[in-house]
Amino acid sequence: MTGHLTGDCEHQEVSALIPWYVNARLSESERLKVDAHIAGCAACRADLHVEQQVFEAIKGAPTVEYMPAASLKRLQTRLDTLQSVAPAADAVPVVRIRSGWPKRALMAASVAVVAITISLLLADRWVQFRAQQAAPNYRTVTNSPPRARDEVIRAVFAPTITLIELQAILDEAELRIVSGPTEAGVYSLAAKSNRPVRSSLALLRQHPTVRFAEQTREEPAPGDSP
Amino acid sequence: MTPLAKNSTKERDSALLTAVAAGDRRALEELYLGYHRRLARFLSRFTARYENIEEIINDTFMVVWQNANEFRNASLVSTWIIGIAYRTALKAFRSQKNYADMGSLDDHPEQSVDPTIATEIHDWLQQGLGRLPIEQRLTMELAYHMGHSLEEIAAITDCPVGTVKARMFHAREKLRQCLPALSGAASESRARIE
**Residue of chain B with shortest Cα separation from A43:** B190
For residues B128 and B103, give the distance between their C-alpha atoms in angstroms, rounded to a whole number: 11
Instruction: Give me the pLDDT at residue B184, please.
Output: 57
Whose CA is closest to B88, among B35, B127, B125? B35
The H or E element spanning position A152 is strand A151-157
B53–A68 C-beta distance less than 8 A: no
Element (H, E) at A151: strand A151-157
Ordered structural domains, chain B, with CATH: 1-100 (1.10.1740.10), 101-194 (1.10.10.10)
B40 vs A99, higher pLDDT: B40
Position B13 pLDDT exceeds 80: yes
Residue A75 has what pLDDT? 95
Convert the pLDDT of each residue in A59-84 to its tens digit: 888 777 888 999 999 999 999 988 87
> How far is it, in rounded angstroms, from Cα A154 to Cα A201?
10
CA-wise closest residue to B165 among A8, A14, A56, A55:
A14
User: Which has more pLDDT, B105 or A58?
Assistant: A58
Whether residues A68 and B190 touch (CB distance < 8 A) is answered with no
pLDDT, residue A102, reads 58
Q: Give the integer Cα–Cα distance in Å for B43 and B137.
A: 12
CB spacing of B62 vs A23 below 8 angstroms: no
* pLDDT score of B71: 92
- One-character DSSP codes across A18-33: HHHHHTT-S-HHHHHH
Which of B12, B31, B37 would you mutate first to test chain A, the one with the most A CBs within 10 A? Answer: B37
Tell me if A23 and B25 make a contact (CB, 8 A cut-off): no
As a whole number of angstroms, the distance between CA B105 and CA B132 comes to 6
pLDDT for B102? 43
- DSSP letters, B159-184, are --HHHHHHHHHHHHHHHHHH-HHHHH
For residue A127, give the nearest of A61, A189, A71, A74 by alpha carbon: A74
Integer angstrom CA distances of residue B154 from B83, B89, B142:
10, 16, 10
Interface of B with A in 116-175 (CB under 8 A): 121-122, 125-126, 129, 140-141, 143-145, 147-150, 152, 165, 168-169, 172, 175
Span B74-98, mean pLDDT? 88
> Considering only alpha carbons, which residue of chain A is nearest residue B33?
A160
Question: How many contacts (CB atoms, under 8 Å) link A and B?
Answer: 130
- Please give, rounded to a whole number of angstroms, the shortest distance from the CA of B163 to a CA of chain A: 11
ipTM above 0.85, yes or no: no
Task: Decide if B189 and A61 are in contact by the 8 Å CB cutoff.
Answer: no
Q: pLDDT of A111-133, one tens digit each?
A: 777 778 777 777 777 777 666 66
Task: Report the pLDDT value the prediction gives residue A118, as an integer from 0 to 100.
Answer: 77
Residue A131 has a pLDDT of 63
DSSP run (H or E) holding B144: helix B134-144
CB atoms within 10 A of CB B134: 15
pLDDT band at A151 (very low <50, low <70, confident <90, very high): confident
Residue A98 has a pLDDT of: 41
pLDDT band at A7 (very low <50, low <70, confident <90, very high): confident
CA B8 to mean position of chain CA atoms: 24
Peptide bond preceding A93 in cis form (omega within 30 of 0): no
Residue A56, CB-side half-sphere exposure with 13 Å CA sphere: 7
Is A39 an interface residue toward B (CB < 8 Å)? no
Please check the confidence at residue B105 and state whether its pLDDT lies above 50.
no
Q: Is the pLDDT of residue B17 over 90?
A: yes
- What kind of architecture, by CATH, is found in domain A151-215? 2-Layer Sandwich (3.30)
On whether any CB of chain A is under 8 Å from the CB of B193, the answer is: yes
Higher local confidence (pLDDT), B116 or B166: B166
User: A69 Cβ partners below 8 Å, 6+ apart?
Assistant: A159, A181, A185
pLDDT tens-digit series, residues A165-206: 888 889 889 999 888 777 777 888 999 888 889 889 998 988
**Residue A97 — very low, low, confident or very high, per pLDDT cuts 50/70/90?**
very low
SS3 assignment, position A186: strand
> pLDDT exceeding 90 applies to what percent of chain A?
29
Q: What is the pLDDT of residues A36-52, one digit of tens each?
A: 999 999 999 999 998 99
Over residues B169-192, the mean pLDDT reads: 69
The more confident residue out of B122 and A6 is B122
Q: What is the rounded distance in angstroms from the CA atom of residue A92 to the CA atom of residue A105?
A: 10
